[in-house]
Amino acid sequence: MERSEGRESCCTAVTEPPPVTMSNVEPERVDQPKLTMMMRPEYGTSGQEITLLANHLKVSIRRPDEIFYLYNVSVSGTYDEKRTVNIKGIGRKIINKLHETYSSEFAGQKFVYDGEKSLYTVGPLPRNRLEFSVVIEESSAKNASESLSDNGNTNHSSKRSKHSLHSKAFLVEIDYAAKIPLRSVSRALSGADPENVQDALRVLDTVLRQQAANRGCLLVRQSFFHDDSRNFTDVGGGVMGCRGFHSSFRPTHGGLTLNMDVSTTMILSPGPVIDFLLANQNVKEPRYIDWARAKRMLKKLRVKAKHNNREFKITGLSDKPCNQQLFFMKVKNGGSSDNGEETIEITVYEYFTKHRNIELSSSVYMPCLDVGKPNRPNYLPLELCYLVSLQRYTKALSLIQRTSLVEKSRQKPRERIKVLADAVRDYSYDDDPLLAACGISIEKQLIQFNGRVLEAPKLKVGNGEEVSPCNGRWNFKNKHLFTPARIERWAVVNFSARCDTSQLSRELISCGRSKGIHFERPHTLIEEDPQYRRAGAVVRVEQMFEEIVARLPGHPDFLLCVLPERKNSELYGPWKKKSLTELGIVTQCISPLKITDQYLTNVLLKINAKLGGTNSLLAMEHTSHVPLIKDTPTMILGMDVSHGSPGQSDIPSIAAVVGSLYWPLISKYRAEVRSQSPKLEIIESLYKPLPNGNDEGIMRELLVDFYTTSNGRKPAQIIVFRDGVSESQFNQVLNVELDQMIKAYKHLGEDDKPKFTLIVAQKNHHTKLFQANAAENVPPGTVVDTNIVHPRNNDFFMCAHAGMMGTTRPAHYHVLLDEIGFSADVLQKLIHSLSYVYQRSTSATSIVAPVRYAHLAAQQCGQFVKFEDRSETSSEPGSIKTIGCTPVTELPRLHKRVSESMFFC
């Protein structure tokens, strides 16, 4: 599932989730925002200058005083019926029909229409309210005997085209709503915050969407996709990646720009339905097709019939195969004097072969597609149908599909620049009557400007050695970890993976000792009993832990678990839940394809961090010289929420918050994780008062841990990094989540409150950076806080990591609040440094480590409920909480033995 890019969410209608009501907490309402986003105080200056390009095109407005007129469009049945109409799919067709038929009523005004509710013109229409009755001809799909045989008349005359269409009448009402001044864009560019700038930008974005719709493109928010096989990439399973383009107008420090980017969506492979089913179910012959699964997959998809070139929507499958499925058909009674009709019962196969002279071969013994209505089926043989192109596939991709998509859609910087340049040339964005009326023109070249490259921070490793990262990377070859752990009692368990666990353990010990870890030999090696290999995941895990308890003399330091699948193993969730929540055992899961020194080192980095060790520290952190943090107790938080896969609306969302420990260090973290309502982005458990006066919220736990590990010091400053929210949710972060954090702090008996710096970190955006004078990705440490940033708000882009494949995507940081008072240079250097403290890696991360940890903790704990049997869970007391009408499975709490560890490493 793709999160909304920031500016898009402000320019489109956003449906907020329903209010969440806890059984013992009164819901809070924010009538007036207490805080608003801070303005940019200054620009950064540190670092080496570099010339960059960005995928933004400069936009000029020669007539800034133009005014857009917004009209609301509603479509219903005719005057007599007044039925409700789903405007999606027919709205644009209706408006186009109006434009053709009633051009005089529009007084020659050019308009753009979003396809649903909003129509925009440059000049006003003659009247504030227009009302029309519009008749549109559409394909008719009744039953097989009527729609396919023209009421049984086998003499196929030219009348068939008339019978295959039917007319629908709609009442269209167009009402004046508001004026939208284009001048608001100019005011926004000058640093003001006008009320309707987003409305004006929405009009311009709608222009580009209408252009794409008129070209027959698939529209997905602000992206569009052409029906061109050269843009399709097969990823397996009957699914293709379709390359298209994102486009959106953005106010920036350098003026109004059009942000253009390559975009990808998933579509079903167009072509014969039978071929699609074979690929989707990964079978070689039709006899192996699971028809129940096929029915679920095909429902609501659009197909075109070969024999009459008409398009239908699939509603189901026939109960019987083509040669047995009967239907009633009216035929002319040639022997009757009055030339009457009689009704006969006939199979679908017989109808097509005898009455239509169409030979059927491959689908004789298969079910037919039902393209009719619930009570009036219309059957089509499978081999006569093929899937229409550009139908979105919205289900979650498998690991193999995702891997294939990434590999095939990856583009080097120069290749991406060329693709964008070709699109700008071919699609003529500024060739639109409404844009021309406003004097809007779009340049054809990517904008060029200067950025800066920050110096990489130095790191401290074991034995007092110092490491200088090169190109965002470092290694532990011939080096010790900063504080290595002691591993004395441990074991290896193998869930039927093809792995020599004896050799694996020897090489792991050898590699660990070379890194300074005190590593004893494993107490035992346990292979899974073959009789359980076909059992369910929970049973297999329970049996393995029974074996562990029987063979170990006491509680182990940690367990090394070898899984049979590399990723998405069904064993992972039950294994982690059992070990972390019930037994309190630190575990490391692996599934090695090839055991190398680099692979073992990466495994050891995770193990060492989980067991309380430290792999490396920032040199300035080691000497307690982190600016604005060294002298004042400062807590750093990373916050994220993960959601279920597309189509899994009942899977709880998982909120994770990690907090720093052992001030003045900024490399050590622990996590608190909670489940919450599905698809809810705002974290609801930061402060959670109970009737007895206690608080069991996330913040209380992290504040107490900070106090305990920082020699009894309370945080006087808190730096919050929030991941995953769009610009439309910034006010909620400022006025709901921050308010909950303050309440949690004061609940501990404090009268004052810490100073907060609140930063949103976004990766889901469409800005890319390129070197102007080199083909490689921008170097690690590249930062941009001019030209392409917001003209007013305090934001910047940073590429902290080295892009080894494809084109790197910078992180977009928005500073919503800064009570601590960082200068631009100090804050950017701190964020850059926090990209080097991720203990699982020997390379800089693309986003700050606290956010990476929060994301990882949410993902890992999400496995607890992903594979859970709801029937088992519901029998556990307190395991289900109800929020509104949605039951939410509560996450089990971590065992006290691991609750303070970096288990998410």
* 700, part of any domain: yes
Q: What is the three-class DSSP state of 833? A: helix
The label of the residue with tokens 């269409």 reads 165
Q: Is the confidence at residue 481, as pLDDT, over 70?
A: yes
Burial level of 252, CB count in 10 A (0-12/13-18/19+)? buried
* 725, part of any domain: yes
pLDDT at 4 (0 to 100): 38
Residues 740, 759: Cα–Cα separation, whole Å: 16
pLDDT at 163 (0 to 100): 40
Q: Is the confidence at residue 390, as pLDDT, over 60?
A: yes
Residues 415, 635: Cα–Cα separation, whole Å: 43
Q: What is the three-class DSSP state of 566? A: coil
Q: Is the confidence at residue 528, as pLDDT, over 50?
A: yes
pLDDT at 349 (0 to 100): 87
- Mean pLDDT lowest for which of 78-87, 497-506, 546-555, 793-802? 78-87
Please state the rounded mean pLDDT for residues 240-260.
93
* 230, part of any domain: no
The pLDDT tens digits for 402-414 are 888 888 888 899 9
Q: Are residues 466 and 591 in the same domain?
A: yes
Q: Are residues 362 and 303 in the same domain?
A: yes
Domain boundary among 388, 409, 424: 388
Residues 322, 340: Cα–Cα separation, whole Å: 29
* 772, part of any domain: no
CA 522 remoteness from chain centre: 41
For the chain, what percent of residues have pLDDT higher than 90? Answer: 53
CA 420 remoteness from chain centre: 23
Give the pair of three-digit tokens for residue 721. Answer: 């990094």
Residues 105, 126: Cα–Cα separation, whole Å: 7
Mean model confidence pLDDT for the chain = 85
The pTM of this model reads 0.87
DSSP 373: B
Q: Is the confidence at residue 766, as pLDDT, over 80?
A: yes
- Mean pLDDT lowest for which of 441-455, 533-547, 648-662, 804-818? 648-662
Count of Cβ atoms closer than 10 Å to residue 245 Cβ: 23
User: Are residues 416 and 768 in contact, defined by beta-carbon separation less than 8 angstroms?
Assistant: yes
Q: Are residues 71 and 183 in the same domain?
A: yes
Count of Cβ atoms closer than 10 Å to residue 500 Cβ: 12
Q: What is the three-class DSSP state of 56? A: strand
Give the pair of three-digit tokens for residue 697. Answer: 């919220």
Three-state SS string over 457-523 comes to CCEECHHHCEECCECCECCCCCCCCCECCEECCEEEEECCCCCCHHHHHHHHHHHHHHCCCEECCCC
- More reliable by pLDDT, 412 or 863: 412
Sign of CA dihedral 95, 97, 98, 99: positive
Sign of CA dihedral 773, 780, 45, 721: positive
Cα 715 to Cα 287, 492, 496, 639, 663: the distances in Å are 67, 41, 48, 17, 9
* Gyration radius from the chain CA atoms: 31
Residues 825, 844: Cα–Cα separation, whole Å: 19
Residues 182, 197: Cα–Cα separation, whole Å: 8
Q: Are residues 597 and 648 in the same domain?
A: no
Residues 414, 169: Cα–Cα separation, whole Å: 52
Domain harbouring 661, CATH code:
3.30.420.10
Domain boundary among 562, 580, 611: 611
Q: Are residues 649 and 689 in the same domain?
A: yes
Q: Are residues 577 and 644 in the same domain?
A: no
Q: What are phi and psi of 546, to 5 degrees?
A: -60, -40
Q: Are residues 557 and 644 in the same domain?
A: no
Domain harbouring 301, CATH code:
2.170.260.10
Q: Are residues 463 and 604 in the same domain?
A: yes
Q: Are residues 565 and 523 in the same domain?
A: yes
pLDDT at 721 (0 to 100): 98
Residues 126, 123: Cα–Cα separation, whole Å: 9
Helix, strand, coil percentages for the chain (3-state, nearest 5): 30, 30, 45
pLDDT at 883 (0 to 100): 44
pLDDT at 13 (0 to 100): 33
Give the pair of three-digit tokens for residue 875. Answer: 């029998």
Count of Cβ atoms closer than 10 Å to residue 621 Cβ: 23
pLDDT at 82 (0 to 100): 52
Max CA pair span of the chain = 109
Q: Is the confidence at residue 666, as pLDDT, over 80?
A: yes
pLDDT at 32 (0 to 100): 54
Q: Which of 708, 751, 758 is nearest to 731 (CA)?
A: 758
Residues 811, 831: Cα–Cα separation, whole Å: 11
Q: Is the confidence at residue 135, as pLDDT, over 80?
A: no
Q: Which of 187, 175, 316 is nearest to 251 (CA)?
A: 187
Q: Are residues 720 and 861 in the same domain?
A: yes
- More reliable by pLDDT, 183 or 168: 183
The label of the residue with tokens 């060739």 reads 431
Residues 37, 739: Cα–Cα separation, whole Å: 15
User: Are residues 64 and 444 in contact, defined by beta-carbon separation less than 8 angstroms?
Assistant: no
Per DSSP bridges, beta strands 459-460 and 486-487 are unpaired
User: Are residues 290 and 281 in contact, defined by beta-carbon separation less than 8 angstroms?
Assistant: yes
* 295, part of any domain: yes
pLDDT at 27 (0 to 100): 43
* 201, part of any domain: no
Residues 893, 674: Cα–Cα separation, whole Å: 9
Per DSSP bridges, beta strands 440-453 and 782-784 are antiparallel
pLDDT at 647 (0 to 100): 61
CA 463 remoteness from chain centre: 43
Q: Which of 839, 847, 842, 836 is nearest to 904 (CA)?
A: 839
Q: Is the confidence at residue 798, as pLDDT, over 70?
A: yes
* 822, part of any domain: no
Q: Are residues 567 and 687 in the same domain?
A: no
Three-state SS string over 262-296 comes to EEEEEEECCEEHHHHHHHHHCCCCHHHCCHHHHHH
pLDDT at 435 (0 to 100): 85
Please state the rounded mean pLDDT for residues 351-362.
86
pLDDT category of residue 901 using cuts at 50, 70 and 90 = confident
What is the domain range of residue 73? 63-138+166-188
CA 309 remoteness from chain centre: 37
Please state the rounded mean pLDDT for residues 122-145.
68
Residues 247, 442: Cα–Cα separation, whole Å: 12
Q: What is the three-class DSSP state of 592? A: coil
* 152, part of any domain: no
Please state the rounded mean pLDDT for residues 365-384.
89
- Provide the domain count of the chain: 4
The pLDDT tens digits for 210-229 are 888 888 889 888 899 998 88
From edge to edge, which strands make up the β-sheet containing 524-527? Answer: 524-527, 490-494, 558-562, 586-590
DSSP 400: H
Residues 336, 333: Cα–Cα separation, whole Å: 6
The pLDDT tens digits for 450-463 are 999 999 999 999 99
Q: Is the confidence at residue 665, as pLDDT, over 90?
A: yes
Say what the alpha-carbon torsion angle 478, 482, 487, 492 is, to the nearest 10 degrees.
Answer: -60
Count of Cβ atoms closer than 10 Å to residue 180 Cβ: 21
Q: Are residues 599 and 686 in the same domain?
A: no
H or E element, residue 639? strand 634-642
